[in-house]
Amino acid sequence: MSPAEFLRVYQLRAPHLMWLLGAGASAASGIRTAGDMIWDFKRRIYCSEQKVPLRACEDLGDPRLLDKIQDFFDRQGTCPIRNSLEEYAFYFSRVYPNEADRRKYVEELISKGTPSYGHTALALLLKKDMARVIWTTNFDKNVEDASAKVFGRTGSLLAVDLEAPHLFRQAVQEGRWPLLGKLHGDFQSRRLKNTEDELRSQDAELRHCLVRTCQGGGLVVVGYSGRDESVMEALEEAIDQGRGFPQGLFWIARAGGTLPRVVALLDKARAAGVKDAHLIEVPTFDELLADVVGQCQQLSDDEMALLNEHPRRVSAAPLIFDKGGWPVIRLNAIEIVRFPSTCRLVKAEIGGMKEVRETITKAGANIIAGRRRAGVLLFGSDTEARKAFPTGEFDIYTLEDRRLNYSSPEQSLIYDALVGAFVRERPLLARYRAHHPVLFVDPNRQSDPVFQPLMAAAGSVCGVLKGINIPWSEAVSLRLSYRMNKLWLVFEPTVWPEYPVEESGNEDANRRLREVVKEFQRERAAKRYNKAWNGMLHAWCHVFCAGDKPAKIQTFGISNGVDAEFALSPITAFSWRQRL
């Protein structure tokens, strides 16, 4: 069955289709899949028994390393063959024979994960009664956490694990939805089922619930490899000579990622008379759920907005200094290694930010200021500050990093100070567009050597639009982002036109002028593909740091008062392949 056919079928059968989530459904949330865990078990056993440092076997993406580790186990003659269904239970029980140790491993593993886009989308389906029952072999709480977010409370979803399987049967009998059945237990449960004996002795009552619900409806399986015999045997039992899965059995998998055990199950279901037993190829759990909710007309705009609030999962990537190619995506951000942690606080009788600006302008004071309830926050010399606030009480204010992650007086103050530092120490000018600062090349200083890489990448850095005589300059828009406990300067190359003052009463001429400029901006940007864009990012990093080494810039360059000093890295942020 094609993905498009499945989407159409799902909309009609949604309330009667259950979901079975495997480890692949939690991969995007930062939790290892079963396959990843198997190689981690093998690595730990290999390194401990061969007295090899774990650091030496860090890159499990290297096929040569995997072959080396696998050869170690193959030579023992007592281990399961590579990619067999017995590997997970065998190696987990060998690396950690004690149940408490296995529970600790799982707890540490899933503590790093957060619900992915797909989990939030699935929770929305639960809320709209387009899904009622979810089964999972995972230990994490992604489904519970996503449901709490979507429903706005924690009591809407009944989660049943191996501690009280009878609750699932009771809920089905009473028609209480939504339901979550955790086939291998919760990671906090003392009855985790993750060794060979435990998997084969799957809790009889919970397994019976799985079989009965499959015999009464349909099942969508996603992110599950089919490695557990206990679960696969339950699904086979649910076929019930063709009477099971009356709403269909839909197995979602990546192309080429289906085990023979899964194919055998689907073949058996079709041979028994299950009309809809299909294998559907979809790249990821998140992509599947995005397509499903995209076809769901019942979701409101506010509910769909919850999907855009989902946090992205990131982790620090190591710097690589050797030569040669390696997987990387260059990002348009540089780290602000050091930024002000304090500023001047002036306690004065004054109104809001509008009154603060008017006071500073009237006094002609060379300072940068913001307004909080505690007083006026500012950078600049005390002499200039007293021009504006001669009767104010001066103190020191600590700038909290967390306030830089959202629109706040502290963030605005840092914005203004950073822009002021660039204008003071680099041949740049600044304007604000939609409340975000834009730096652009000063036409009077375009021959400055710092612009040589920019000229090489862009061809020219300043010019005049023919016919309308509007000067333009290469520019960059700026945005601050506090992520991973670091402050980043996010920048996007653009073109800045110096529009003339628009003529009052001549709106048609003004509109045509703006359209000509926008078309020029589009044409200039359209030619900047990957290589050219990479050159632009490098060139602006060169401008920011006045070279290819870390740089320091100050807003005022003063010795009295409180100045704003920034230390900038010339290396842009980048993504790298995940290391396990």
Quick one: three-class SS letters along 192-260? Answer: CCCCHHHHHCCCHHHHHHHHHHHHHCEEEEECCCCCCHHHHHHHHHHHHHHCCCCCCEEEEECCCCCCH
Q: Which two tokens stand for residue 476?
A: 């960059």
SS3 6: helix
Decide if 404 contacts 411 (C-beta within 8 A). Answer: yes
Q: What is the pLDDT of residues 463-472, one digit of tens each?
A: 998 878 889 9
Decide if 564 contacts 357 (C-beta within 8 A). Answer: no
Nearest alpha-carbon partner for 423 in 544, 338, 547, 562 = 544
Phi, psi for 479 (deg, rounded to 5): -150, 140
Q: Please state, as a whole number, how many other Cβ atoms lie within 10 Å of the Cβ of residue 257.
A: 12
* CA 334/CA 321 separation, integer angstroms: 18
Q: pTM value? A: 0.54
The residue type found at 134 is I
Decide if 206 contacts 189 (C-beta within 8 A). Answer: no
Nearest alpha-carbon partner for 134 in 221, 206, 23 = 221
pLDDT of residue 327: 52
The ranges of the chain with pLDDT < 70 are 112, 185-202, 256-257, 308-327, 434-435, 501-505, 576-580
DSSP state of 57: G
Decide if 45 contacts 76 (C-beta within 8 A). Answer: no
The residues, any chain, with a CB within 8 Å of residue 119's CB and separated by 6 or more, are 25, 29, 142, 143, 145, 146
Strand intervals (E) in 282-411: 328-338, 342-347, 368-372, 375-379, 393-398
- The gap from C-alpha 288 to its chain's centroid, in whole angstroms, comes to 17
Phi, psi for 374 (deg, rounded to 5): -70, -20
* CA 396/CA 292 separation, integer angstroms: 54
* CA 333/CA 476 separation, integer angstroms: 12
| 73-102: burial string, b at 16+ Cβ within 10 Å, e else | beeeeebbeeeebebbbbbbbebbeeeeeb
Angle at 54 between CA 30 and CA 193, to 5 degrees: 50
pLDDT of residue 199: 46
pLDDT of residue 311: 47
Nearest alpha-carbon partner for 345 in 371, 310, 319, 317 = 371
3-state helix, strand, coil in the chain (%, to 5): 45, 20, 35
133-136 vs 551-554, strand pairing mode: unpaired
The residues, any chain, with a CB within 8 Å of residue 294's CB and separated by 6 or more, are none
Report which secondary-structure segment, H or E, holds 545.
Answer: helix 530-545
Q: What is the pLDDT of residues 103-120, one digit of tens each?
A: 888 888 877 678 888 999
CA–CA distance from 122 to each of 3, 22, 143, 208, 366 (Å)? 17, 14, 8, 24, 55
Q: What is the pLDDT of residues 190-210, one digit of tens each?
A: 555 666 555 444 477 888 999
Nearest alpha-carbon partner for 23 in 140, 180, 147 = 140
Nearest alpha-carbon partner for 222 in 355, 474, 28 = 28
- The gap from C-alpha 372 to its chain's centroid, in whole angstroms, comes to 32
* CA 458/CA 538 separation, integer angstroms: 12
Q: Which two tokens stand for residue 245?
A: 């899965």
CA–CA distance from 247 to each of 12, 131, 170, 180, 271 (Å)? 10, 13, 22, 19, 16
